[in-house]
Amino acid sequence: MIDALKTLLNKLIPSLFAKKKHMRIGLYGPPNSGKTSTANRICKDWLGEDAIMGSVSEIAHETREIQTKENIHMKKKGKELTFNLIDTPGIATKIDYEDFLKHKMSRKLAKERAKEATKGVIEAIKWLDNMDCVIVVLDSTTNPYSQVNITIIGNLAARNIPVVIAANKIDLKKANVKSIEAAFPQYPIVGISAEQGTNMEELYESIVKMVR
C-alpha cells in the first residue's frame, strides 16, 4: 500500500512542477526556399539583433540538422504567443553529391554534405509529428506545383497541423506570389522577403491568427 502510494506520488509530483510545454512552430519547405533566412529574421525581430538560427548559403542543403530556438515571445495586436521555433532541413526527393561539386566543393566534402543532407531529409519528415503549427516557406520565383511542396502541405493537412505559407524572395524580379496563391488557395499566404525583412509584420499577424 505504502509502495503504491510512493509510486503514485513519484508520478504526480514531477508533472505538477513540470515546465509548461511551449508550442512548436516549424519551418518547412524545399531546399533553398529561405527557411533559415526566415528563421534568422524571426529571431532578430523577437530575440534581438544578435540572435540567429543558423548559417545561410546559396548552395542547397546548408541546414542538414534540426535547429531550435526556444522561448520566442511574440506580441501582435494585443495577442501574445510564446513558442519554440524549429528550422528543418529542406525536403528533397533526390540528392546528388555531384551537384555540390559545381560550387567548387571538394569531392570528399560534397559526398559528406550529400550524406548529411539525406539524413536531414529523413529527420525533417520524422519531426512532422512533433509540430503544433508550420510555416511553409516557398520560393516565390519558382514553380509552386512541385511534388515536394504538395507532399509537405498534404502531410500537414493529413495531420491537422495549421499552416501559413510564406512566399519568400518577393524582392526578386521573378517573384510571383499569385502563382502560389493559385496553387494553394485554401491556405493563408504572405509574400515576404526574409533577407530584406519585407512584410514580416504581416507574417507575424498570420502566425498569431493561425495559432489562436
Long-range contacts of 101-104 (CB under 8 A, 24+ apart): 103/58, 103/59
**CB of 197: closest distance to another protein in angstroms?**
32
Residue closer to another protein, measured from CB, 84 or 155: 155
Residue closer to another protein, measured from CB, 118 or 198: 118
E strands within 98-210?
A: 133-139, 163-168, 189-191
Binding range to another protein, per CB under 8 A, among 45-53, 63-71, 74-82, 122-130: 122-130
Interface mask (CB under 8 A) for another protein, residues 1-40, using x and -? ----------------------------------------
CA count, 13 A, side-chain hemisphere, 95:
24
Binding residue (CB under 8 A) for another protein from 114, 161, 210, 211: 114
Distance CA 64, CA 118 (A): 8
Number of residues in contact with another protein, rule: CB under 8 A?
27
Q: How far apart are the first and last CA of the chain?
A: 45
Return the closest-CA partner of residue 175 out of 33, 29, 42, 28: 33
The answer to whether 118 contacts another protein (rule: CB under 8 A) is yes
Name the residue with cell 529527420. 123
40 vs 36, 68, 168, 195, CA distance in Å?
6, 11, 13, 9
The answer to whether 138 contacts another protein (rule: CB under 8 A) is no
- For residue 189, the SS3 value is strand
Binding residue (CB under 8 A) for another protein from 12, 107, 145, 196: 145
Residues 152-191 that bind another protein (CB under 8 A): 154-155, 157-158, 182
Binding range to another protein, per CB under 8 A, among 13-21, 61-69, 89-97, 191-199: 89-97
Q: In this structure, what DSSP letter does residue 82 have?
A: E
Binding residue (CB under 8 A) for another protein from 84, 151, 176, 198: 151
Binding site for another protein (CB under 8 A): 91-96, 98, 114, 118-119, 121-122, 125-126, 128, 143, 145-148, 150-151, 154-155, 157-158, 182
